[in-house]
Amino acid sequence: MLLHEFFQRAESRYMYNGISWGQSFSYELDSIRPDLAKKIYRTDCDPFLVSKNRGIGNPQWDRFVAFIHENWNKELPQEEQ
């Protein structure tokens, strides 16, 4: 899956499921790339609690986006391929 598809799916989850912006990205990341979700869980770039303004201006959201952009195309761990 391409990175922009991940963002589109997470945004759709937000719009249709009535959960917060950050929760939708956390859940979507966990379902698509659990290896990355485990790396950010409960860190300063975990988007779970980001809810206001779709993350705009939120340092935690900015760290999440930077992490995803940096790590998305890295190879999956051998056992998850």
Q: Please write the tens of the pLDDT for every residue from 4-62.
A: 899 999 989 888 988 888 899 999 999 999 999 999 999 988 888 776 666 678 888 88
Predicted local distance difference test score (pLDDT) of residue 77: 57
pLDDT for 81 beyond 80? no
Flag whether the pTM goes above 0.95: no
d(CA 9, CA 27): 10
User: Which pLDDT value is given to residue 55?
Assistant: 67
The residue among 76 and 28 whose pLDDT is bigger is 28
Domain definitions of the chain by residue range: 3-72
From the list 8, 2, 80, the residue with the least C-alpha distance to 38 is: 80
